[in-house]
Amino acid sequence: MIQLKSFLIVIILTLITNSCDWIYKPDPCDASGPVVVYKTRQDYSENVTIQLSADGKVVTAYPGKLDAIKQRPVELVNGYLLKRMTGDAVISLTIEEYASSAKDYSPAELLNLVIDKDPYLEKYECCKCTKGDTAVINDLIRKNQLNDCESLK
């Protein structure tokens, strides 16, 4: 009887653990970061982007120097670009200038370097609908179906 109770407890715990499997597995988009497909008003493909507060008065996030290099966008079809970032404001420094600088910029200094607080004509988060596959993204662009992704603008 004790063995049966132990066996049932093990079975119940196994079922509970397996039914809660989603708790332990992060979404693939969470692990790789956002997949942002966008067009800008001007060519800012070499510039660093930073995140600002809703009122645009405070820098809430900015890349480390090594991360800035990873911000370099990937060219897609029809003038679209892809970046794994969340920045919404463009600063005057290029990625190369920022990454190679001996200076560590404070948030206040970065705020003073902002050249465009609203650079995007179109902006989409496409991780869930494409899993970050550029071929799939280009296909969506060609078919004029970027609206299948989450619009951020």
Q: How many domains does the chain have?
A: 1
Residue 52 phi/psi, 5-degree rounding, is -115, 160
Angle in degrees, CA 81, 62, 107, rounded to 5: 140
CA neighbours closer than 13 Å in the CB half-sphere of residue 65? 11
Instruction: For residue 67, give its domain range.
Output: 26-151
Tell me the pLDDT band of 4, cut-offs 50, 70 and 90. Answer: low
Q: Is residue 128 part of a domain?
A: yes
- pLDDT tens digits, one per residue of 46-74: 999 999 999 999 999 999 988 888 778 88
Q: Can you give the pLDDT at residue 18? A: 54
CB atoms within 10 A of CB 81: 17
Q: Is residue 141 part of a domain?
A: yes
Length of the chain: 153
Q: Is residue 33 part of a domain?
A: yes
Q: Is residue 72 part of a domain?
A: yes
Determine if the pTM surpasses 0.75. Answer: no
